[in-house]
Chain A
Amino acid sequence: MYEFKYHRPATVRQAANLLVKNEDAKVIAGGHTLVPVMKQRLASPPHLIDLSHIEGLNAIEMKGRSLVIGATATHADVANSATVREAIPALAELAGGIGDPAVRHKGTIGGSLANNDPTADYPAAVLALGATIVTNKRRLKAEEFFQGLFSTALESDEIITKVMFPLPKKAAYVKFRNQASRYALVGVFVAKRPSDVRVAVTGAGSEGVFRATAFEEALKKRFSHKVLDGITASPEGLNSDLHGSAEYRAHLIGVLTRRAVEAATAK
């Protein structure tokens, strides 16, 4: 790990000022992506700005018809929150399936979204539920936020402060775990929203999370796994690696979408 200076701001405003003032500075939340990457010397920020001590930034609450989750809420906070379990149980389950218990005690929703790992779980939920990402500067819709492999619409001095999830009518997430890393080999989040149906796929796409529109169209007519017979995902644009071929991942998208719809309708 290269040398850096450590800062512990008390407010988002202070953190943002530190980001502007110090060139190439980076924020750190749970550190469960950034610390490993710094250890490998793949990142060498000269300044680290710790968001984890900003009071209230991890708050979870209902605001009208939206579930609002603060950026530094850990995966364990979300998994165990009575508010999340009541509002969007599928989201609590997703958070409870990230990594292992120790990872869930540190990793945060803001860090996961900012990182936009193509095999991460949260991006699928955010895209399928049509969540809004709130930063210190503006509000971003999920579809404008994710911009391909490990990239997002965030500017270098922008900090995610919270994520707003409109409540779906039904939702479920099914993840097929990579047996070694426990990240998603493929994960599918299905949401029946008041206005439409969304199917978001993580782990499979070579450009990160994406929507499976063929499945969405069929489910819009009738939200039942039965309408999915005969619909398949194309392996084009999907990842192929030692963990699974593009064809295998395409097959999993079909299987997991069906399972997710079954799980959502059973609730």
Chain B
Amino acid sequence: MAKISLIVNGNAVNANIDPRTLLVQFLRENLRLTGTHVGCDTSQCGACVVHLDGKAVKSCTTLAVMADGHEVRTIEGLAADGAPLHPMQEAFREHHGLQCGFCTPGMIMTAVDLVNRKGHDLSDEVIREELEGNLCRCTGYQNIVTSIAAGAKAMAKSA
């Protein structure tokens, strides 16, 4: 077993885990933060994307022990319960950027990371290129791209 301490969505978390535990498992099973999904479990789909020290990573391909001492943010950490949605979440709702919603947490965490790196004025081409590691089985991506472009602009206003 290995002792880990990390910050998840702003809260200090201490746990004693089997080193084999994947970050996504730790989030879902130990912390019951089930917003982060497992789509493929083979590093391809991006449903499991969370932010590790502010950068998008695939939590199905990250060991929880390696996050010891670091900071993690999940979809649950974007807006407090009952508070207004994060501008990127609101943009997905407004622009119908989801159908079944399975890929959505990963899409939104990827999109927020994208805005943090590339700013608020994003062309469709850049957005599509950046979504390389996120798969959606439902939407055909069009409305996801529209949502991200709108969410990026909205984030500028709320910042």
Inter-chain CA distance A5–B57, complex, in Å, is 23
Q: Are B41 and A101 in contact (CB under 8 A)?
A: no
Chain B interface bracket (under 10, 10 to 19, 20 to 34, 35 or more): 20 to 34
Cβ of B113 within 8 Å of any chain A Cβ, yes or no, is yes
By a beta-carbon cutoff of 8 Å, the part of chain B in contact with chain A is: 2, 18-20, 22, 41-43, 46, 49, 52, 55-58, 61-63, 65-66, 68-69, 110, 113-114, 117, 130, 132-134
User: For chains A and B in complex, what number of residue pairs have CB atoms within 8 angstroms?
Assistant: 71
Q: Are A99 and B19 in contact (CB under 8 A)?
A: no
A3-B18, A32-B43 known; A105+B57 contact, CB < 8 A: yes
**Distance in Å: Cβ of A231 to nearest Cβ of chain B:** 32
Q: Are B132 and A101 in contact (CB under 8 A)?
A: yes
Q: Which 3 A-B pairs have the closest CB atoms?
A: A100-B133, A100-B132, A6-B19
Contacts of B113 in A (CB 8 A): 101
By a beta-carbon cutoff of 8 Å, the part of chain A in contact with chain B is: 1-6, 8, 28, 31-32, 35-36, 39, 48, 50, 52-53, 76, 99-103, 105-106, 182
Q: Are B66 and A31 in contact (CB under 8 A)?
A: yes
Q: Are A36 and B18 in contact (CB under 8 A)?
A: no
Q: Are B130 and A101 in contact (CB under 8 A)?
A: yes
Contact for B43 among A8, A101, A103, A105, CB less than 8 A: A103
Q: Are A101 and B56 in contact (CB under 8 A)?
A: yes
Inter-chain CA distance A52–B61, complex, in Å, is 15
Contacts of A32 in B (CB 8 A): 43, 61
Q: Are A106 and B57 in contact (CB under 8 A)?
A: yes
Q: Identify the closest chain A residue to B46 (Cβ).
A: A102
Contacts of A99 in B (CB 8 A): 132-133
Q: Identify the closest chain A residue to B106 (Cβ).
A: A102
**Distance in Å: Cβ of B136 to nearest Cβ of chain A:** 14
